[in-house]
Amino acid sequence: MDIMHADEPSADAPTNASAADRARPAKTAAEVLATPAQFLAGVGPKRVDLLERLDLRTAKDVIFNFPRDYQDLTDVRPIAELEEGKLLSVVATVEDIDSRVSANGRTVVGVLFSQSGQYLRAMWFNMPFMRDHFARGQSVLLSGQPKYAGGRWEMVHPRVQYVEADDDDAPRGKVLPVYSLTEGLNQSQMRNIARGALDQCVDVLDEVFPAEYLAEHNLWPIRRALSQVHFPDDRASLEQARRRFVYQELFVLQLALAVKRRRTRDDGHAPPLEASAKIDARIRRLLPFELTAGQRRVIDEIAADMAGARPMNRLLQGDVGSGKTAVAVYAMLVAVAHGHQAVLMAPTEVLARQHFATVSQLLAGSQVRVALVTGSVPSAPRAESERRIAAGEIDLVVGTQAIVRGELEFAKLGLAVIDEQHKFGVRQRAMLRQAGGDPHYLVMTATPIPRTLAMTVFGDLDVSTLREQPPNRQPVHTYLVGAEQREKWWDFYRRKLGEGRQGYVITPLVEESAEMEAMSVQQAYEALANGELEAFKLAVVHGRMNAEEKHAAMDAFRAGDTQVLVATSVVEVGVDVPNATLMTIEDAERFGLAQLHQLRGRIRRGKYPAYCGIIAEPKTDESKSRLDALVGSDDGFELAEVDFRLRGPGDMLGTRQHGLPPLMIADMHRDTAILEEARRDAKAMIDADPALALPEHLLLRRMVLARYGHSLDLGDVG
């Protein structure tokens, strides 16, 4: 018998089936799995609302609600070898039982256990019924965190399991599941509910993998794996059961991505746009700089894709300042050279306008016709631009999401480029395609993506990586500024401003917040204008300003009329002021590592050395590790892996942001090896059976469509 912290009496006991019940036909597997949670053992009307809060509405929901963690009670030790602060188990014999009421009115049940002349006392508070669970001479396995007090070991509210006195086998503790809970539901109750649901459902589950596949890939059958992932016999069984579901989850995702990738490649008919030697020479003459080796390599990859009739579907990732925009301009000019249009879409108006200015400057001496389409462009000129785009009188369009929100039509769209892809959802890719037929497709991000995320979130894309920096890029000297160094930092900042440089001051908030202790942009502006930077001209930029105000502030800073721009993270992308080489980031612990790296990338655009002061008081080890990593490295790819390790995928480029369902059991950081295995296996299966049409793949096909059919716009696999 096992006492689960001895709460209230456990789940409702099942009654004997009536003759009428026995006469009913057996339920199908689908009916059993669809059983409403209310009718599961241990639930009833009393707890069904609590399960609803956890999104557990059916038996299927409950059995696939995997534990979020486990309590390992398998470390069984003699009393003489117990240690404080660890979860340990001990087998001992009941010596004495007592019950008393303390001075504050609490009932205390105490049980004294002995083992080879050593003693341990277990205590339960306000649980008088525990006295009746023990008898002198009884052998018991206790699990808990021991504490040494008064010359003796103690455990408070240990978990108890009875063992047979004459059992020759060494008794073992258990590995217990730990579930996500809600107020009113405890672990003991949730375990009882899960166990009851498993008893009811596990025998009706269909196996999605053929038997040969299970054996070949070292996977347990689903029925065995599901029982063991909830209530494992031991750690080894837990790991094998977990492997089954991690592999299955990642394999189904990779199948869906492989189907999407193959469909894009095989079903689309984009115009072949070859970068001939003549076109290449004409484009290079327009660029006022030499391409780096990395840019040339990436351009070759893109050009090879664009030369084919299958639509290019490529992700270009590069660190801040690595020259992605030049690569995008090259690709767009290839399309224009063939008489097709190209579009460059950015997530913010600031970035769109920056791209428009860069492209217009590069193409000033050419005959390429360029237009800007954003939400703030007045209606009359915007309507005229849209008319000319539809008539084929504009070659290259730069804009924001306004491009896909309205009725914009392209006469002959050959290439679509989306910058900062992680700020867009999956659906917007499809919308852009619909706006202009079936173009080649290039997405870019200046947020380097950890390899495992690239295989999932962007798994339907080919990936090009640009790591090298152009030769004129300056390193950013980054310093962690504590309270005692503030005055010294501002002295340095003023000295550099006096030498003619410009700078940013970044804050996490637009306005003061009662919920967050952090500096707002207005507070910073007023404090600096009347304090450390009173001798200089300051301006403010934040996301709640209207477009006209933002543009005026940015233009004044670009022109050098303003020396310091006090801003929120709105300047993270799209601001290119070569003379701005200084940055102060207030309350830096409030920003993510990738965002901090993006922000300081704003000050490495020119020929002067750059300096970034990180003002922070990190209160957690994770926050301190993040800031130490930023100070210690200027490599965005290295920092992305650090961020991934510290924060996990959910806080970075999580699948939810891209419209994909969240992963239920797999962990992108821990399960990298399984992910790579699943990716290889999925590719092999789709190569052999592109539509998953073989009878042995039917259940996998259904699972792919149920899980990812909508989010990846698969329609049907076949």
Instruction: State the CATH number of the domain containing residue 153.
Output: 2.40.50.140
Whether pTM > 0.85 for this model: the answer is no
The pLDDT-based confidence of 591 (bands split at 50, 70, 90) is confident
Task: Concatenate the DSSP letters of all residues of 205-226 into one string.
Answer: PPP-S-HHHHHHTT---HHHHH
The pLDDT-based confidence of 427 (bands split at 50, 70, 90) is low
The pLDDT-based confidence of 10 (bands split at 50, 70, 90) is very low
Q: What is the DSSP letter of 17?
A: P
How confident is the model at residue 319, as a pLDDT? 84
- Residue 666 reports pLDDT greater than 50: yes
How distant, in Å, are the alpha carbons of 23, 485, 489, 540 from that of 615?
A: 74, 9, 10, 19
How confident is the model at residue 8, as a pLDDT? 34
Residues 116 and 199 in one domain: no
Residues 187 and 61 in one domain: yes
Q: What is the DSSP letter of 163?
A: -
- Residue 169 reports pLDDT greater than 50: no
How confident is the model at residue 93, as a pLDDT? 93
Partnered with residue 99 across adjacent β-strands are: 109
Residues 518 and 624 in one domain: yes
How confident is the model at residue 568, as a pLDDT? 87
Nearest to 227 by CA among 240, 212, 246: 240
Instruction: State the CATH number of the domain containing residue 433.
Output: 3.40.50.300
Q: Is the dihedral of CA 27, 32, 38, 39 positive or negative?
A: positive
Identify whether 317 is part of a domain. no
What's the whole-number mean pLDDT along residues 5-14? 37
pLDDT > 70: percent of the chain: 88
* Domain total of the chain: 4
Say how many C-beta atoms besides its own lie within 10 A of residue 63's C-beta.
23
- Residue 598 reports pLDDT greater than 60: yes
Give me the torsion for CA of 77, 80, 84, 85, rounded to 10°. Answer: -10
Residues 282 and 409 in one domain: yes
209, 71 contact by CB (below 8 A): no
For helices 593-600 and 621-632, the axis angle rounded to 10 degrees is 30
How confident is the model at residue 658, as a pLDDT? 52
How confident is the model at residue 425, as a pLDDT? 47
How distant, in Å, are the alpha carbons of 42, 449, 574, 575, 656 from that of 405?
A: 50, 28, 21, 25, 22
Range ranked top by mean pLDDT from 467-471, 572-576, 634-638: 634-638
The mean pLDDT of the chain is: 85
- CA dist., res. 594 & res. 446, Å (int): 10
Nearest to 686 by CA among 658, 659, 714: 714
Pick from 633, 653, 680: which residue ends a domain? 633
Pick from 610, 633, 656: which residue ends a domain? 633
Q: What is the DSSP letter of 233?
A: S
Reported as a single tens digit per residue, the pLDDT across 258-305 is: 988 888 777 678 899 999 999 999 999 988 888 999 999 999 999 999
- Residue 462 reports pLDDT greater than 60: yes
Angle CA 362–298–639, to nearest 5: 100
Identify whether 11 is part of a domain. yes
How confident is the model at residue 24, as a pLDDT? 56
- CA dist., res. 183 & res. 353, Å (int): 50
Residues 191 and 52 in one domain: yes
The pLDDT-based confidence of 3 (bands split at 50, 70, 90) is very low
Q: What is the DSSP letter of 605?
A: S
Longest Cα pair distance anywhere in the chain, in angstroms?
Answer: 98
Reported as a single tens digit per residue, the pLDDT across 533-569 is: 999 999 998 878 887 888 888 889 999 999 999 998 8
How confident is the model at residue 421, as a pLDDT? 56
- CA dist., res. 155 & res. 10, Å (int): 24
Reported as a single tens digit per residue, the pLDDT across 669-708 is: 788 899 999 999 999 999 999 999 999 999 999 999 998 8
Residue with tokens 């909508």: 710
Residues 293 and 380 in one domain: yes
- Residue 517 reports pLDDT greater than 70: no
- CA dist., res. 24 & res. 442, Å (int): 59
pLDDT > 90: percent of the chain: 51
Nearest to 480 by CA among 631, 583, 634, 594: 631
DSSP-derived pairing of the beta strands 580-585 and 538-541? unpaired
Identify whether 693 is part of a domain. no
Identify whether 671 is part of a domain. no
Identify whether 622 is part of a domain. yes
The pLDDT-based confidence of 528 (bands split at 50, 70, 90) is very high
- Residue 333 reports pLDDT greater than 80: yes
Q: Could you tell me the residue range of the domain that residue 522 belongs to?
A: 476-633
Residues 162 and 202 in one domain: no
